[in-house]
Amino acid sequence: MTSTKTLINLLKNPVSIKTKSQAKQLHAQIFKTLEPNSRFLISRLLFIYNNFNLVHDSLCLLDTLKTPAPPVTWKSIIRCCTQNGLLVESLTCFVRMIGSGVYPDHNVFPSVLKSCTLLVDFRFGESVHACIIRLGVDLDLYTNNALMNMYAQSQNMDIVRKVFEMMPVSDLVSWNTVIVGLARNGLYEEALNIVRQMGNVNLKPDSFTLSSVLPIFADYVDVIKGKEIHGYAIRHGLDANVCIGSSLINMYAKCARVEDSHRLFCLLPVKDAISWNSIIAGCVQNGLFDEGLKFFRQMLIAKIKPRHVSFSSIMPACAHLTTLHLGKQLHGCIIRNGFDDNMFIASSLLDMYAKCGNIRLARCIFDKMDLHDIVSWTAVIMGNALHGNAHDAISLFEQMEKDGVKPNSVAFVAVLTACSHAGLIDKAWSYFNSMTKDYGIAPSFEHYAAVADLLGRAGKLEEAYEFISNMHAGPTENVWLTLLSACRVHKNVELAGKVAEKIFMIDPNNMGAYVILSNTYAAARRWKDAASLRVFMRNKGMKKTPACSWIEVKNKAYAFVAGDKSHPFYHRINEALKELLERMEQEGYVPDTKEVLHDVEEEQKKNLLYYHSERLAIVFGIICTPDGTTIRIIKNLRVCGDCHTAIKFISKIVQREIIVRDNSRFHHFEDGKCSCGDYW
């Protein structure tokens, strides 16, 4: 049996105790051999337990003390609680310590302040600050560093400055804390000024300083200053640091220098999850969606476990590419990694499903979310608006207001878009006026474009012209283009000319305006004017973007253009299309040759309509997928009226849901009807 002397020696110098199990065995021997309630013994045991992070055992042991624990014991257990994330317990022990008459010293306060910061309990932190001043510990370096960090997190930079200025001694951590606090609170110039002042006290910026400053230049889109920091990092041997590397990748990407980001990423000797996330986000933010997906795959191959930010960064790539199969694979990966309850990832997922044509699943994800922020509300409202569910979108917007979530500028764009796609003019005016009156949001070009689109669809072209002309700021070419498109639909040639002039004053080489104006002339059978304009465009080297449609079959995307004969399945598609046309005509389909904007014979007009890109893609989907499979098509231009009618017939004949996303919205065709109600 272990002697009393041996037990006492072990307690005084516990170096031979190597495991948690041995620590508990020592406790058991003491309980059997010595006085179990001895203040000295329990204090020493607490010290040993805390070294092994046995927090719960320490807290239970602390409760057995009949006399106040010494300061060193309290310090040890408070530090242990904070390190192990038991923040409430840490602050509770601090209160018990003071309540027992033991005054904390400078060694206790850094852990207590860290717990306040992590708990975001700044009111308690202010009380701790008062205690620090009363006890005269406000000159301690580590305590002041912890104080500055807490106040920086609470966005109270005035107190951070005061604490920093009154510090008798400061170290690199002190300076970095102030710099980070200023940068995170948007006080960029002051943060940069503090960096310059570091040289006056013979302190050199370290990797933490540089990685804190680089996001400033990223937000400023100041690649010149960013390169200066890069040069400093190279000269001081810090360029291999993974934190600086990730910050540089992010900075170059935000400055639209993705090639530099890519080059820097390849040169990093060690790539962690942060650097992978930086290059993925940089590619996606700059529209390089395929590149972003490639890096994401490489990250998985490199056995780097994706974080929640990894999925939030890559999900928009699937949304923009409308690659539903990849989105579903990512969704499965999210579930396997346990991130499916993350609010930001859930918002990205519902946005992806909505943009990939599956609004039902998008709504299902939204309904399962425990909490909804403005991002998730906006995503689901806009998703329903683009899918033609205008009343659902409006209902969601009103529910958001009832739930106390204040709509932002993007939310109003979403609800105005819903009104536009359903022709709800009075509702739209109500929301447009409410935006400024009730929420103090100044209308942007997107809001004006949405209202102009609404009026244009409803045929109120003159009213739309007056509305745009009276904008507070000068209207952009995109706002005018919205009205010009409406003039083309309603064949208002005179107004189209006036609107086109407005666009050409802003951008004389706007090809979209020339194409729409030419089509407007053709729709009005003014063939000479249309031909003259096309010759003018040809002489200026302008080429019209060809209509193109895409379909995804067995995880592979196929593209079609009008009259496309290059596809290996062309003959099968052609035969199936002829059979389908016969059945459509039997059902009552009559081609609307007015949609053909070429001065050719009537029979040739019919042939041109039959081989529009979306019809080729749909027929390819029919012959390559099992019966009952939903067919999803993406088109880069607006669906023409005749194709819209034809697809309604096709959906009824083949008994399939056909989803077509054109350049403005989704059309869900099923059993001879479309979700837009023929209003688009």
Contact 379, 405 (CB under 8 A): no
Instruction: Kindly state whether residues 556 and 666 are assigned to the same domain.
Output: yes
Q: State which of 540, 571, 603 marks the end of a domain.
A: 540
Q: Is residue 329 part of a domain?
A: no
Whether 648 and 565 map to the same domain: the answer is: yes
What are the phi and psi torsion angles at 374 (to 5°)?
-65, -30
Closest CA relative to residue 559, chosen from 633, 642, 664: 633
Looking at the domain assignment, is residue 484 inside a domain?
A: yes
Give the separation between CA 76 and CA 95, rounded to whole angstroms: 15
Q: Answer yes or no: do 506 and 534 share one domain.
A: yes
610 plus 531 within the same structural domain = no
CA distance 165 to 195: 15
Q: How does 4-29 read in b/e, with b if 16+ C-beta sit within 10 Å?
A: eeebeebbeebeebeeeeebbebbeb
Answer yes or no: are the C-beta atoms of 248 and 230 closer than 8 Å.
yes
Q: Which of 414, 337, 419 is nearest to 375 (CA)?
A: 414
10-residue averages of pLDDT along the chain (680 residues) = 58 62 62 56 65 67 67 83 88 91 90 94 94 92 95 94 93 93 88 87 88 86 89 88 92 94 93 94 94 95 92 91 88 91 92 93 94 94 94 96 95 96 94 94 92 93 94 85 91 93 92 90 87 88 85 89 85 93 93 71 76 94 94 91 94 95 92 89
- In terms of domains, do 568 and 601 share one? yes
Q: Is residue 355 part of a domain?
A: no
Is there a single domain that holds both residue 520 and residue 569? no
Residue the block writes with tokens 């009104």: 419
* Matching residue, tokens 């609010």: 343
Q: Select from 271, 280, 263 the least CA-distant residue to 304.
A: 271
Please say which residue of 277, 305, 333 terminates a domain: 305
The phi, psi pair for 600, rounded to 5°, reads -130, 175
SS3 content of the chain, % helix, strand, coil (to 5): 65, 5, 30
On whether residue 638 sits in a domain, the answer given is yes
Angle between helices 445-457 and 409-422 (to 10 degrees): 10
**Is residue 631, in this structure, part of any structural domain at all?**
yes
Phi, psi of 66 (to 5 degrees): -95, -15
CA separation for the pair 286, 234 (Å, rounded): 26
User: Residue 421's closest CA among 676, 166, 121?
Assistant: 676
What's the pTM value of the predicted model, to 2 decimals? 0.76
Cβ-contact 458, 428 below 8 angstroms: no
Residue type, 10: L
pLDDT value of residue 32: 54
Cα-based angle 410, 284, 350 (whole degrees, multiple of 5):
50
590 and 657 assigned to the same domain: yes
What is the reported pLDDT for 10? 60
What is the DSSP track for 79-119?
HHHHHTT-HHHHHHHHHHHHHTTPPP-TTTHHHHHHHHHHH
Same domain, 594 and 497: no
Give the CATH number, domain containing residue 510.
1.25.40
Residue that is last in its domain, among 489, 523, 540: 540
Is 334 domain-assigned?
no
What's the token pair of residue 89?
């317990």
Q: How far apart are the first and last CA of the chain?
A: 90
Q: In whole angstroms, what is the distance from residue 21 CA to residue 17 CA?
A: 9
In 3D space, the residue among 203, 248, 249, 209 whose CA is nearest the CA of residue 230 turns out to be 248
- Would residue 45 count as lying in a domain? no
Which tokens in the block code for residue 76?
């040890």
Q: Does residue 535 sit in the same domain as residue 556? A: no
Do 612 and 498 fall into the same domain? no
How many domains does the chain contain in total?
3
What are residue 553's DSSP bridge partners? 556
Check whether residue 572 and residue 471 sit in a common domain: no
Domain ranges, residue 228: 220-305
Query: Which backbone phi and psi does 551 adopt, to 5 degrees?
Result: -140, 145
**DSSP code at position 594:** G
Pairing of strands 631-635, 658-661: parallel
Clarify whether residues 556 and 669 are in a common domain.
yes
Establish if 38 belongs to a structural domain.
Answer: no
